[in-house]
Amino acid sequence: MEKQSELQILSYINQVPKAELHIHIEGSFEPELMFEIANRNGIAIPYSSVGELRSAYKFGDLQDFLDIYYQGASVLLKTKDFYDLTYQYLRKAANDNIVHTEIFFDPQTHTQRDISLETVVSGITSAMEDAQKDFGISSYLILSFLRHLSEREAFEVLDLALPWKDKFIGVGLDSSERGNPPEKFARVFEKCRQLNLKVMAHAGEEGPWEYVADALDVLHVNRIDHGNRSMDNLELLERLSREKIPLTLCPLSNLKLKVISKLSNHPVKMMMEKGLIVTLNSDDPAYFGGYLNKNYFETAKALNLNMEDIKVLAINSFKASFLPLDIKKYWIEQVEVFHKNFKP
């Protein structure tokens, strides 16, 4: 990309209205806020400074990351902690011109430490309400099951969460993928679908393409989180395109967790060419070195994406969202208007 167009692309990315659909709220926990909350809760962090903690963010694979991510989340104790965490992310998101976001939270990471679900959900959702008022950003919450835990534990946390069912729009499946295939949660997901919850699952991040196919066949997901390994099976790619199953891709996450060796190997462009509804997302931005606009920009540079491609990705982010149809249409039109009027 030559200099002029790089700046143009950056300005386009910064300004275009967009949605983020794959963000773990615990993964937006910046070291500065982590130290602040740890201090006020009287908890010691096993790092002497923000700098030292940040320099520990070198991961060989998904599990390396998860170990540090769960350790970080363990300083969250009170409603205000969850509020501050969520409000900080939403302020940053609004600054990136994200107008709508669908946020994962991992209830079991907290209930296992005897933090009540009420503490977690009330902190997160009051920040979501305040951010809507303060920045005009809309957001939905998604309850994610930890797949390294048992089916029984997933059922238990679902039961615990039912009093707050109107506070979350759907359920997801995250944590250690390999060895924890979708079918382990077939019955929990069936119950969630009966409860009219949207369903999605991380699949094909480290696990094989078969896990993506199983998430479709066994869990009947509305959306796949990551799904990189779908590239290994042409029939599956064609199916994702035909059935219009969106993928929430996370390029900087993939780079940091060594799912890809360099950004120019990221499959987003090939997937777009195959007609898939793909979106870009930050996953765990405090750990992976960038929020949403940085994911767009670094990917655009590495893969030579142009403004037309960015426009498609922004439109896809609304298409793939769980927003009501009329609101989706409104935002897609806003992207079109922005694109037409964009003067670099």
- Work out whether the CA dihedral 207, 272, 250, 165 comes out positive or negative: negative
Site for ligand HPA in 60-79 (CB under 6 A): 62
Beta carbon of residue 175, minimum distance to ligand HPA (angstroms, whole number): 5
- Contact with Zn ion (CB under 5 A) among 283, 302, 309, 328: 283
Spatial neighbors of 119 by CB under 8 A, at least 6 apart, are: 77, 78, 79, 82, 110
Q: Which is nearer to ligand HPA, 45 or 103 (CB)?
A: 103
Position 229 contacts ligand HPA (CB under 6 A) = no
Position 267 contacts ligand HPA (CB under 6 A) = no
Query: With contact defined as beta carbons under 8 Å apart, do 96 and 291 qualify?
Result: yes
The whole-angstrom separation of Cα 258 and Cα 195 is 36
Position 251 contacts ligand HPA (CB under 6 A) = no
Beta carbon of residue 106, minimum distance to Zn ion (angstroms, whole number): 10
Only segment of 50-58, 282-290, 321-329, 332-340 that touches Zn ion (CB under 5 A): 282-290
The whole-angstrom separation of Cα 263 and Cα 4 is 22
Q: Which is nearer to ligand HPA, 20 or 174 (CB)?
A: 174
- Work out whether the CA dihedral 278, 280, 284, 288 comes out positive or negative: positive
Position 284 contacts ligand HPA (CB under 6 A) = yes
Contact pattern for ligand HPA over residues 144 through 173, marking x by CB under 6 A: ------------------------------
Amino acid at 217: D
Residue 110 has phi, psi (to 5 degrees) of: -105, -40
205 a catalytic residue: yes
Q: Which is nearer to ligand HPA, 30 or 284 (CB)?
A: 284
Q: Which is nearer to Zn ion, 81 or 205 (CB)?
A: 205
Q: Which is nearer to Zn ion, 102 or 283 (CB)?
A: 283
Query: With contact defined as beta carbons under 8 Å apart, do 193 and 199 qualify?
Result: yes
Residue with tokens 């929020």: 291
Residue closest to 309 by CA, chosen among 335, 341, 343: 335
Of 26, 30, 177, 205, which one is the catalytic site residue?
Answer: 205
Structure tokens at 17: 């209205």
CB atoms inside a 10 Å sphere around CB 86: 24
Position 106 contacts Zn ion (CB under 5 A) = no
Residue closest to 245 by CA, chosen among 270, 217, 265: 217
Surface-to-core class of residue 335, CB atoms within 10 Å of its CB (0-12 exposed, 13-18 middle, 19+ buried): buried
Position 184 contacts ligand HPA (CB under 6 A) = no
Using a CB cutoff of 8 Å and minimum separation of 24, what contacts does 1-7 make?
A: 1/300, 1/301, 1/304, 6/301, 7/344
Beta carbon of residue 6, minimum distance to ligand HPA (angstroms, whole number): 28
Beta carbon of residue 4, minimum distance to ligand HPA (angstroms, whole number): 35
Which single residue brings its beta carbon nearest to ligand HPA? 174
Beta carbon of residue 137, minimum distance to Zn ion (angstroms, whole number): 20
Beta carbon of residue 124, minimum distance to ligand HPA (angstroms, whole number): 15
Tell me the number of residues near Zn ion by CB under 5 A. Answer: 1
Contact pattern for ligand HPA over residues 2 through 41, marking x by CB under 6 A: ----------------------x--x--------------
DSSP-assigned letter for residue 44:
-
What count of residues does the chain have? 344
**Residue 143 bridge partners (DSSP):** 105, 171
Q: Which is nearer to ligand HPA, 69 or 83 (CB)?
A: 69
Binding residues (CB under 5 A) for Zn ion: these are 283
Binding residues (CB under 6 A) for ligand HPA: these are 24, 27, 62, 174-175, 202, 205, 253, 283-284
Active-site positions read 205
